[in-house]
Chains A and B, each alone.
Chain A
Amino acid sequence: MNKEDNKDIIIGQNITFSYKDRIILDNQSFSFKKGEHIGIIGESGSGKSTFLKLLAGLLTPSSGTLEVDSESDPAKIMKKISMVMQDAMIMPLTIRENIALGKEIKKERMDEIIKATRLDLWTDSLPEGIDTYLGERADELSGGQAQRIAIARAIAKDADIILLDEPTSSLDKDTIKDVMEALETLTDEKSVIHVTHQTDLLKGYHRILKIGGGRIYE
């Protein structure tokens, strides 16, 4: 964390949110500082992923105020964050298109991203490299390859706030190690909120919060 910059980048005040008849947050207030790495843990179904979607602006609280990097409009909040989810969502596009999702990314920058996520180990072996069309077989990629593409997508967005929703939960031990290395590149000098049930992945995080029973607490 950059100690010089101690300002709160996410501020939630008196937030209440229910999802599918279940109270996820009941009048809760919280704040996360810029550059802080936060781990969120909790029982299955406690609302960890829903909380992350709230922070991303994908869901709106029933009451209370949420400010993300001084923005409270969900559409503007979404522009400030990057997200890696449990399901990498690989579309029937080329690898490049899956990363850029329609954005213009310069070749040098794309090369950097590919190297940072170690996708080059795979794409260099493909005749058409990152321009390989995944087509209807997009969902046949290995979990590690798919998550690396999702991480590359998040790096390409270059947002200051990174939300991680169990990005390694469906991977085996060796792949988790590789994906975590790629995640380090993504999260370096960024504000990170990482939802997981694998607490060993949260070593070195500044704070670990627990969510459950409508509360969020340390």
Chain B
Amino acid sequence: MLKLTKSRGDDLKVFKRLIKKNAILAVLTIILTFLSIISQFVWTIYVGKIIDSIAQREGLSVRLLLTMGVILLISVAFIYSSNLISRFTAEKMAHTLRMDFIKNLLSSDGASDEKGAFEAMSKVQNELSQSSEYLSNTLFDIFSMALSGILALFFLLFENAFLTLIILIPMIIVCIAGRFLGQKINPLVNASMNKKIVFNKTAYSLITGFDVVNVFDAKEFFKNRFEKELNEWAEVETKKERVSAVCNSLSGILSQTPLLVLFAAGAILIWKGMLSLGGLIIFLNMTGTLLITLMNLPSWAVSMKSFLIHLSRCDV
């Protein structure tokens, strides 16, 4: 029998099983993703070194350039192989999910016949396709971005804890503001979408149900109804666009504050000799990664939660 309501622990059960069944690939993906991120960080460090050399009017040594060339090649190799392995692992996990579902279904008491299996399959068709799609297109991308953010945070703390903590404050403010502004827009987006669905449905009803409308002399009724629904949608849509424009402007301005703080604090530290120009470049490069991770964490958490729920419903 299909279990449609589960506890949080149950939500993870299928996911854990998928990881366990593809353990080698999963571990390989994690290692390669980790190495590709580290190799990019090393590349950024060396870019900082070059800038420092230029700023100090030192020549660029052949050894430095050769080392950078090797790092670049290693980085490309890691990125390529981590992408390849993560895609393959995702597809393998999606395949395991579908095959396990069919196998378990056919061996369970409730659906031993082909018809029962087909009915159960059609019931979870949506869950299966959503889970497979998430596995194939999203899971490892999110994992890679989240890992980049976390590693960037530790790396920046190691490089210059003071500057990192200073830029973290506006970043957290930006994230909270983004969340708050999102909460202002979301109900309006939903309301606008629902109104649109309703008037589209009415328009569709008018076309497909034209005979009913004629026989029941309801042309005038539907004309008025359609106009009313269209006006209601236009009202909500205008409000949504207005609020959205305000929120986006605010969000746009706010998102620049970490950069401004970084420039201001970085300039002071360089002036005091506590940071090199190359160090500031590293910070400029990595704060972007960190900000993207911080800003997207809530939506990643929501999408992951929804994926786990879809996944748990595929369990039989």
Using a CB–CB cutoff of 8 Å, the interface residues on chain A facing chain B are 53, 56, 58, 78-79, 81-83, 85, 87, 89, 91-93, 101-102, 135-136, 138-139, 153, 157
Instruction: Report the bound CA distance from A79 to B197 in whole Å.
Output: 32
Contacts A92-B205, A102-B221 known; A82 to B212 CB distance under 8 Å? no
Q: Can you name 7 extra interface pairs (CB under 8 A) apart from A83-B212, A92-B202? A: A78-B215, A89-B208, A92-B205, A93-B225, A101-B218, A102-B221, A136-B201
Contacts A153-B216, A157-B216 known; A85 to B202 CB distance under 8 Å? no
Among the interface residues B194, B213, B225, which one has the most CB atoms of the partner chain A within 10 A? B225
Q: Which residue of A lies closest to B218 (CB)?
A: A101
Please name all residues of chain B whose beta carbon is closer than 8 Å to the beta carbon of A136 when the two chains form the complex.
194, 197-198, 201
Please name all residues of chain B whose beta carbon is closer than 8 Å to the beta carbon of A101 when the two chains form the complex.
213, 216-218, 221
Instruction: Report the bound CA distance from A11 to B11 in whole Å.
Output: 67
Instruction: Report the bound CA distance from A89 to B213 in whole Å.
Output: 10
Instruction: Report the bound CA distance from A2 to B202 in whole Å.
Output: 41
Q: Which residue of B lies closest to A58 (CB)?
A: B211
The DSSP consensus for interface residues of chain A is mixed
Cβ–Cβ contact B214 & A58, under 8 A: yes
The DSSP consensus for interface residues of chain B is helix
Cβ–Cβ contact B201 & A92, under 8 A: yes
Tally of A-B residue pairs with Cβ under 8 A?
54
Cβ–Cβ contact B205 & A102, under 8 A: no
Please name all residues of chain A whose beta carbon is closer than 8 Å to the beta carbon of B216 when the two chains form the complex.
101, 153, 157
- Least distance between A123 CB and chain B CB atoms (Å): 20
Q: Which of B166-208 contact A (CB under 8 A)?
A: 194, 197-198, 201-202, 205, 208
- Least distance between A155 CB and chain B CB atoms (Å): 12
Tell yes or no: B109 within 8 A of A by CB: no
Instruction: Report the bound CA distance from A205 to B218 in whole Å.
Output: 31
Instruction: Report the bound CA distance from A153 to B208 in whole Å.
Output: 17
Please name all residues of chain B whose beta carbon is closer than 8 Å to the beta carbon of A87 when the two chains form the complex.
208-209
Tell yes or no: B220 within 8 A of A by CB: yes
Please name all residues of chain B whose beta carbon is closer than 8 Å to the beta carbon of A79 when the two chains form the complex.
217
Contacts A136-B197, A136-B201, A138-B201 known; A91 to B209 CB distance under 8 Å? yes
Please name all residues of chain B whose beta carbon is closer than 8 Å to the beta carbon of A83 when the two chains form the complex.
211-212, 215
Please name all residues of chain B whose beta carbon is closer than 8 Å to the beta carbon of A92 when the two chains form the complex.
198, 201-202, 205
Q: Which residue of A lies closest to B219 (CB)?
A: A102
Within 8 Å by CB of A82, from B208, B214, B215, B224, lies B215
Cβ–Cβ contact A56 & B215, under 8 A: yes
Instruction: Report the bound CA distance from A83 to B212 in whole Å.
Output: 8
Can you offer 18 A-B residue contacts whose CB atoms are under 8 A? A58-B215, A78-B214, A79-B217, A83-B215, A85-B211, A85-B212, A87-B208, A87-B209, A89-B209, A91-B202, A91-B205, A92-B198, A93-B225, A101-B213, A102-B221, A135-B198, A139-B201, A157-B216
Cβ–Cβ contact B211 & A56, under 8 A: yes
Cβ–Cβ contact B220 & A91, under 8 A: no
- Least distance between A71 CB and chain B CB atoms (Å): 14
Q: Mark B267-297, 1 if CB is under 8 A from A, else 0.
A: 0000000000000000000000000000000
Cβ–Cβ contact B215 & A89, under 8 A: no
Q: Which residue of A lies closest to B225 (CB)?
A: A93
- Least distance between B192 CB and chain A CB atoms (Å): 13
Among the interface residues B198, B205, B209, B216, which one has the most CB atoms of the partner chain A within 10 A? B216
Q: Which of B206-263 contact A (CB under 8 A)?
A: 208-209, 211-218, 220-222, 224-225
Please name all residues of chain B whose beta carbon is closer than 8 Å to the beta carbon of A138 when the two chains form the complex.
201
Contacts A89-B208, A102-B220, A102-B221 known; A81 to B201 CB distance under 8 Å? no
Instruction: Report the bound CA distance from A85 to B216 in whole Å.
Output: 12
Please name all residues of chain B whose beta carbon is closer than 8 Å to the beta carbon of A157 when the two chains form the complex.
216
Instruction: Report the bound CA distance from A47 to B212 in whole Å.
Output: 19
- Least distance between B294 CB and chain A CB atoms (Å): 36
Instruction: Report the bound CA distance from A58 to B213 in whole Å.
Output: 11
Instruction: Report the bound CA distance from A135 to B222 in whole Å.
Output: 14
Instruction: Report the bound CA distance from A78 to B219 in whole Å.
Output: 13
- Least distance between B112 CB and chain A CB atoms (Å): 24
- Least distance between A172 CB and chain B CB atoms (Å): 15
Cβ–Cβ contact A81 & B215, under 8 A: yes
